[in-house]
Amino acid sequence: MIDLKKLDYSEFEILVGLLLEREGCTIIRGPGGPGTKGPDYEAVSPVGTPLVVEVKHFTRLGISQVMQFIGDLERYRQQNANTQGLLVVSS
């Protein structure tokens, strides 16, 4: 079993990417590093649905972060209305 407390943010992002792939997603764009704008991953689900993924590791999730993710998702939906969002939080 993986102890999430021992992972830093980049290791946690990588873990999320591995789990997405394990579930059958195809990663289009993967984590950019700290301070990167936009979602951490762009992927395609096993059934072909576009997916944007935001990863937060041991961060107190505030309403501003949730609203930013919603804004990112809405921008992606302007290009493809079927885009789904996934917010992954370790705490």
Q: What is the pTM for the complete model shown?
A: 0.87
Q: What is the pLDDT of residues 6-24, one digit of tens each?
A: 899 899 999 999 999 999 9
pLDDT for res 70: 95
Q: What is the pLDDT of residues 27-86, one digit of tens each?
A: 999 887 666 678 899 999 999 999 999 998 877 788 988 999 999 999 999 999 999 999
Could you give the angle at the alpha carbon of 47 between the alpha carbons of 23 and 65, nearest 5°?
65
pLDDT for res 3: 87
Distance, CA of 79 to CA of 6 (rounded, Å)? 38
pLDDT for res 91: 80
